[in-house]
Structure 1
Amino acid sequence: MNSETEPNPALEDAFSKEFALKRGEDEVRYYYNEIDLNGDGVPETFVYLTGPVVCGTGGCGGLVVERANGSYKVRSRFSLVRTPVFVSDSKTNGWKDLIMFVAGGGIEPGYRILRFDGKTYPLNPSIQPEVIEQSNIKGIGLINDDKMKNSGIEF
Structure 2
Amino acid sequence: MIYIKVRYYYNRIDINGDGVPGVIVYLVGPFVCGTGGCSLVIFKQLNQSYQLISSFTLVNNPIIVSRNKTNGYNDLIMFVSGGGIEPYYAEIKYGANGYPSNPSVQPKVKPGTKVTGIAVISDDISTSPGIQF
Verify same fold: TM over 0.5: yes
Residue in structure 2 matched with residue 154 of structure 1 by the alignment: 132
Which 5+ residue runs of structure 1 have no aligned equivalent? 1-23
* 1:104 alignment partner, SS class: coil
1:63 lines up with 2:77 in the alignment:
no
Q: CA deviation at 1:135?
A: 4.5
Corresponding residue of 2:4: 26
Q: Which residue of 1 aligns with 2:85?
A: 107
The CA deviation at 1:146 is 3.1
Q: How far 1:25 moved relative to its partner?
A: 2.1
Task: Give a deviation string over 1:29-50, Cα, whole Å, max 9, x none.
Answer: 0000010011000111100000
Query: In percent, how many aligned pairs have the same letter?
Result: 52
Q: What's 1:85 paired with?
A: 63
TM-score with structure 1 length normalisation? 0.79
Q: Offset at 1:153?
A: 0.6
Any conservation in 2 of the 1:111–1:134 contact (CA below 8 Å)? no
For normalisation by structure 2, the TM-score amounts to 0.92
Paired residue for 1:137? 115
Whether 2:14 is the aligned partner of 1:36: answer yes
Amino acid at match of 1:54: V
Structure 2 unaligned regions, length at least 5 = none
- Name the SS for the 2:128 alignment partner: coil
Q: Which has the higher helix share?
A: 1
Counterpart AA for 2:103: P
Answering whether residue 51 of structure 2 is matched by residue 73 of structure 1, we say yes
Q: Distance in 2 between matches of 1:106 and 1:114?
A: 21
Match of 1:96 in 2: 74
Taking a change above 3 Å as real, the CA distance of residues 148 and 39 of structure 1, as seen in their structure-2 partners, is: same
Kindly report the root-mean-square deviation, in angstroms, between the aligned alpha carbons of the 2 structures. 1.8
Q: CA deviation at 1:138?
A: 1.4
